[in-house]
Structure 1
Amino acid sequence: MFVMTIDQRASRRRGDQVDRLLGWAGARLSAGAPGIVRGIERTVGDEVQVVLNDSAAVVDTALRVLRLSGWSVGIGIGPVDLPLPAETRAGSGIAFLHARDAVERAKSRARPAPLAVSTTVPELADDCESVLTLLATVISRRTPAGWAVIDELHRVDVPTTQDAVAGRLGITQQAVSQRLRAAAWAEELAVRPTLARLLDAADESAHATGRH
């Protein structure tokens, strides 16, 4: 199981942004959505938490939150105490403890990205964290022009071919391709499944350790 604890950075200067984050998350991170076991909710202060059982959803959620900036992301991996209570903040177990450790480490200014991963086997956590940090660094360097193309490709209500995207943005198909290359979009798509497999391996190891 995966527990994500997400804490606001510089809340005194920016004011409480949790309600804004919850509104942004919407149905995507609500209970019953793909990969979501317990929906995102405020735990205490300017912190939120969500419980997931799908590694691809963890990757997607982490990268989406990191794109917003202003948040520290901690990912805890391992068993949880069952049955899970209805409220996310009432949950307990190893994954919750690891998520607490991870988010506290994610707050360090010395880290290249405000994220951390924690699980029973430190080496597996380090592997997950390294790949996620690389992806976070890539997305942090994207330009608004690059994001405009990527956001259009993510739409589900209209055609998402490069020709269609170019038409809606008023640019050439060549420009769309150039923006995607500069944004390292193909590289991100290639690495996401690798990170998901690493997270799954860490989860399997944590559960195996927990049985002994």
Structure 2
Amino acid sequence: MFAIHARYRGRERRRADFVRQSAQALSTLPDVNEFSVVGVEDIQATVDTAEAACDTTMALLSAGDWAVGIGVLVDDSLPDPELAATQALSLAAMTLGTHARSGQVKVGVKRGNRKDQAWSADVQAVFTMLAHILSKRTSEGREATSLVRSGMNQNEAAAELGISKQAMSQRLQAAGWQAEMAGYRLAISLLQRAA
């Protein structure tokens, strides 16, 4: 089972409203259960698949100003799905801790009663690289990658932006699109194997 616990670290004046709106928006992602708001700046939800955990984390990293905790709970001895969800959410929150910084992703993998530090470190390392790629992206790069991520091919995205295919290709290259996609696939694979 996968769980996400995120903490807003930005400077929005209407912080509580922004956090609530973010929770509502993230709840619309495929295979993501409803996000609940915890306190003023924290949100949490369970997600059904490794891909949904990765997509949610990438959305939070892309938005900026969020610290993310991912909990991966592997415990077949828990017969009650609600208890498993509660424990996964608790693992994600504890893994994030109280001093997480914006753009930071912390991962906790727990098998039965034991934490699996090796899997946690590997998944966390991939998200650290992805966060770095996203933090270096220009507004043009964010715009280009957003269109391609939404399902458009390069020609369609270039037409949408009113630029040539070559200019679109250059924007994607400068934005680190190939590195992001490689890291994204690796993150999903590691999360699937960890679970």
Query: TM-score, normalized by length of structure 1?
Result: 0.77
Percentage of pairs with the same residue: 26
Q: Deviations over 1:52-109 (max 9, x none)?
A: 2311111111011111112210001114755334xx9x9422x23321222216x345
TM-score, structure 2 normalization: 0.83
What is the aligned-residue RMSD (CA, Å)?
2.5
- Cross-structure match for 1:208: none
For 2:137 and 2:10, locate their aligned partners in 1 and report how far apart those are by CA, in whole Å. 23
Alignment of 1:87-166 (within 5 A): 91-93=85-87, 95-104=88-97, 107-109=99-101, 113-119=103-109, 120-155=115-150, 160-166=152-158
Q: Secondary structure at the match of 2:190?
A: helix
The C-alpha deviation readout for 1:185-210, integer Å capped at 9, x for no partner, is 1221122221112112222xxxxxxx
Q: In 1, Cα distance between the equivalents of 2:135 and 2:183?
A: 16
Match of 2:24 in 1: 23
Aligned CA distance change for structure 1 residues 188 and 56 (closer, same or farther; 3 Å): same
Unaligned 5+ residue runs, structure 2?
110-114
Distance, in Å, in 2 between the alignment partners of 1:78 and 1:152 is: 33
Following TM superposition, by how much is the alpha carbon of 1:148 offset from its aligned partner in structure 2, in angstroms?
1.4
Pairs within 5 Å for 1:1-212: 1-9=1-9, 15-16=15-16, 17-28=18-29, 33-34=30-31, 36=32, 38-79=33-74, 81-85=78-82, 91-93=85-87, 95-104=88-97, 107-109=99-101, 113-119=103-109, 120-155=115-150, 160-203=152-195
Count of residue pairs the alignment pairs up: 187
Matched residue, 1:207: none
Where do 5+ consecutive residues of structure 1 fail to align?
A: 204-212
Distance 2:86 2:79 in 1: 9
Cα distance change of structure 1 residues 10 and 27 upon mapping to structure 2, 3 Å threshold = closer
